[in-house]
Amino acid sequence: MIFEPIDIEISKLSCERDDRLLFKNLSMTLNPGQILRVAGPNGAGKTTLLRTIAGLFDIQTGTIRMNQLPLKECLEQILYIGHKPQVTKDLTVLDNLKFLTGSDDDHLKRALSDVGLKGYHDSLVKELSQGQGRRCALARLWCVKAPIWILDEPYTALDVEMVKTLDTRITWHSAAGGICLFTTHQPPQSLKYTTLELDHVT
């Protein structure tokens, strides 16, 4: 599958939180196929930047446009996976994904075997280990058609094998013309990406 060409244009984005300036006059354009790692020390504003681009935080100053359209009109083009589990403990793996993606059972089962959760369809998420729970949340990457991925610390709690699987998935996504933004503290080995370094401005 090849995505319609999409780009994100960020201009003069500034953000202040709790009286601290996180970033100032940040401008960049993300083109189809681009993989961008947002790096920086703890508290540099990585999550804030990602959540702002995902439309979860209000933009304080500056603009974000997708294909020339304001961000608010393009939210369904975005897949956002944050720090929080993104899954409900009391539901089964399959029910969780069914609600969030709307895909059919066969599709979801294939996605689940891709992330190594074959045979766990009907397990409740609270019965899974932390890493498996994370895999369940990430399984959405295998069944959603959104061209823009915003992943906050996607590698947390994953084993070596799953890290590789995820790298491969992101590479495919980029090859299909999708955009991926992510943060991590362990730079992935088998992924080609550009880096945006966020430093303390103050």
Partner 1 sequence: MSLERRMLTRELKLNVARPGEIFKPMWFLILVVSMLPLALAPDSDLLSEIGSAMIWVATLLALLLNTEHLFQSDFSDGVLEQWLFLNRPLAWLVGLKLIAHWLFHVLPLILITPIAGIMLSVPTDVLWALLVTLVIATPALTCFSGLGAALTLGSSRSGILGVLVMMPLFVPIVILAAGVLIRAMDGSDTLPLLALLGAFSVVAATVVPIAVSAAIRLNIGGSN
Give the footprint of partner 1 on this chain (CB under 8 A): 47-48, 55-58, 75-76, 78-80, 82-91, 95, 98-100, 102, 124, 146
What span, in angstroms and rounded, lies between the C-alpha atoms of 141 and 119?
Answer: 19
Q: Which residue has the tokens 């209000």?
A: 58
What span, in angstroms and rounded, lies between the C-alpha atoms of 201 and 182?
Answer: 21
Name the maximum alpha-carbon separation found in the chain: 51
Residue (78 or 191) nearer to partner 1, CB:
78
Residue (40 or 167) nearer to partner 1, CB:
40
CB 137, min distance to partner 1, A = 9
CB 149, min distance to partner 1, A = 12
Residue (114 or 152) nearer to partner 1, CB:
152
Residue (87 or 117) nearer to partner 1, CB:
87
Q: Are strands 148-152 and 8-17 parallel, antiparallel or unpaired?
A: unpaired
DSSP 72: G
CB 12, min distance to partner 1, A = 20
Q: What is residue 142's three-state secondary structure?
A: helix
What span, in angstroms and rounded, lies between the C-alpha atoms of 18 and 139?
Answer: 35
Does an H or E element contain 148, and which?
strand 148-152
Residue (38 or 191) nearer to partner 1, CB:
38
What span, in angstroms and rounded, lies between the C-alpha atoms of 137 and 135?
Answer: 5
CB 145, min distance to partner 1, A = 12
Q: What is residue 17's three-state secondary structure?
A: strand
- CA proximity to 131, closest of 181, 170, 165: 165
CB 146, min distance to partner 1, A = 8
CB 66, min distance to partner 1, A = 13
Residue (10 or 87) nearer to partner 1, CB:
87
